[in-house]
Amino acid sequence: MKFRSEGVRARVPAMDFTSMVDMVFLLIIFFLATSSLAELNRQQMNLPQERGESRAELVKPGFVVNVMGDGRMITNGREVSLSEVLVQIDGEIAKLGGQAASLDLLVRAERNTPLHVVNVLAEELSSRGVRAWKLGTEIPRAGSMRGRG
Amino acid sequence: MNFKPFRSSRVHAGLDMTSMIDVIFLLLIYFLLTTTYAPPESHLAPALRVDKVAAGRIADLQPQIVDVEIIDGSPGFRLGDQVLRDKESLRLLLAALPKDAGVFVKGAGDVTTEWAVAALQACRDAGFDRVTYVPRRR
């Protein structure tokens, strides 16, 4: 007895996954690259080598001020004067409905920055009602600790 | 009786691994490069306060005050009458002090930022929750 004719064959439709895998990985690369570019946009700086706060919430801060060793200030990738920084900070405070205490501010000052530059900024912040800030540090790699021990 | 077809003729869907391996190696290179270029960062979050002469009554609890300044020609920390030259000594001294009132770090303008940050770190490491940075004019 023959239940199936010899000519009919079970065919599984072939699907070529190659291009789909290519596309998926290209998308992954795209998202990884763009997210890391945001990090690379951070100014390359010699931050003080400290562990920071052990309970630090490492979320992205609202506003970042980079202070270079020679006192120059950089925000959003552009060199700006102190007065321009303060205008930007005023804008950020305005966005928060005038709640300066809610301002999430990270100051990334290079380790050799004269403290008077940071102090002037701190005084201006304090006069605007900012009560807390974050000072950026670079987590030291093993064996790379230097400076004040 | 022959229930099976004469010849098994299943068509297998082929998955070309070549491009996937290419992409995986690209990802590996990417992560290796970014690990090199982006050092891990953290932060210290002291409160901020400008040093003003208090008009009201003096608080019952007085915070510890760490001065960061040039002492005898080189930067150091001053806590009371103690002069300390490194962060670890400061941390050890702070660890023995009461923590309730918090600590003020007063940074003089003529030292570099790393000294102020080191003092803030020592305060945190010593167990102080309330750390306040007070900028000092030069």
For B23-56, the pLDDT digits (tens) are 777 877 877 776 655 567 778 888 877 765 444 4
A35 domain-assigned: no
Q: Which CATH class is domain B47-51+62-135?
A: alpha beta
A130 lies in which domain range? 45-149
A17 domain-assigned: no
A66 domain-assigned: yes
Tell me the shortest Cα–Cα distance from A82 to chain B, in angstroms: 16
The count of C-alpha atoms lying within 13 angstroms of the C-alpha of A84, restricted to the half-sphere facing its C-beta, is 10
How far is it, in rounded angstroms, from Cα A68 to Cα A51? 20
How far is it, in rounded angstroms, from Cα A61 to Cα B23? 33
pTM score: 0.72
Q: Which of B9, B109, B117 sits opposite A119 (nearest CB)?
A: B109
Structure tokens at B47: 């409160």
Percent of chain B with pLDDT over 70: 75
Hey, where are the domains in chain B?
47-51+62-135
What residues contact B126, with CB distance under 8 A and at least 6 apart? B90, B91, B92, B94, B95, B97
Nearest residue in chain A measured CA to CA from B132: A132
pLDDT per residue over A60-87, tens digit each? 668 999 999 999 999 988 999 999 999 9
Tell me which amino acid residue A73 is: M
Q: Which helix (H) or strand (E) holds A67?
A: strand A63-67
A100 domain-assigned: yes
Question: How many structural domains comprise chain A?
Answer: 1
A122 domain-assigned: yes
Nearest residue in chain A measured CA to CA from B24: A25
A59 domain-assigned: yes
A120 domain-assigned: yes
Choose between A50 and B40: higher pLDDT: A50
A36 domain-assigned: no
Q: Which of A25, A47, A67 sits opposite B41 (nearest CB)?
A: A47
How far is it, in rounded angstroms, from Cα A29 to Cα A100? 38
Cβ within 8 Å, pair A33-B30: yes
Taking only residues 102 to 141 of chain A, the set having a beta carbon closer than 8 angstroms to any beta carbon of chain B reads 106, 109-116, 118-120, 122-123, 125-127, 130-139, 141
